[in-house]
Amino acid sequence: SVISGNVSKSANNAYGAFYASNAGAVSNATDVMFANNSALTNGYGAAIYVEAGAVANVNVTKDALYSGNFAEANGVKEDSRGGFLYMKEGGTVNFNISENAALTIGKGIAGYDSIANQDASDSISKTGMGALTVNSSMQYFSGKLSVDGGTMNVKNGLGANSITIASGATLG
From residue 43, alpha-carbon distances to 8, 79, 140, 164 in Å are 8, 11, 15, 30
Name the 3-class secondary structure at 58.
Answer: strand
What's the whole-number mean pLDDT along residues 128-136? 98
Give the mean model confidence (pLDDT) for residues 34-38.
Answer: 98
| Per-residue model confidence (pLDDT) at position 106 | 98
Is the model's pTM score more than 0.85? Answer: yes
Q: What is the mean pLDDT of the chain?
A: 97
Burial of 75 (C-beta count, 10 Å sphere; 0-12/13-18/19+): exposed
d(CA 112, CA 105): 10
